[in-house]
Each structure stands twice: as C-alpha cells, then as structure tokens.
Amino acid sequence: MMRSGWTAEGRWLREPDISAWVADSRLNLLRALPDQADEPSVQEAVNRYLTHVRAASDRLAQLDESGTP
C-alpha cells in the first residue's frame, strides 16, 4: 500500500498542474515544512527520511514481489 502511494505521488509530481494542486492542498502534510526548515528537529527528521526512504522503498518492492504480508 505504501509503495503504491509513493508510486502514485511520484507520477503526480511529474504533472505540473497536479503537482501545484497537491502542493497547495491543505491535505498535504509537508506543506508547512519550508516554514519550519530551519529548526534542528525538522532538519534531523528530513535527513533521517532521506537516508532511509530508498532502502524502505526497495524493501517494500521486494516484499510485494514475494507476496510476504
């Protein structure tokens, strides 16, 4: 489920009109991130996410392919 959501989001971000709508949507959980980007805790969380997101995505793909719940 996470993998399909990330895949869909990647596709949306490649479409300028959809990307703009998502960026401005109040449902966008990261919309306020730029306003708080200077806070050390926010920088730490973003760095942790960026460090691990590729491996997590790859692992989800492996689990999806193997049929493991």
Predicted structure pTM score:
0.58
What's residue 48's pLDDT? 95
Q: Domain extents for the chain?
A: 2-66
For 23-36, how does the pLDDT look when each residue is reduced to its tens digit (9 = 90+)? Answer: 888 888 788 888 89
For 26-66, how does the pLDDT look when each residue is reduced to its tens digit (9 = 90+)? Answer: 888 788 888 899 999 999 999 999 999 889 888 888 887 87
For 7-19, how does the pLDDT look when each residue is reduced to its tens digit (9 = 90+)? Answer: 887 888 899 998 8
Could you tell me if 23 and 31 are in contact, meaning their C-beta atoms sit under 8 angstroms apart?
Answer: yes
**How many angstroms separate the CA atoms of 17 and 35, rounded?**
23
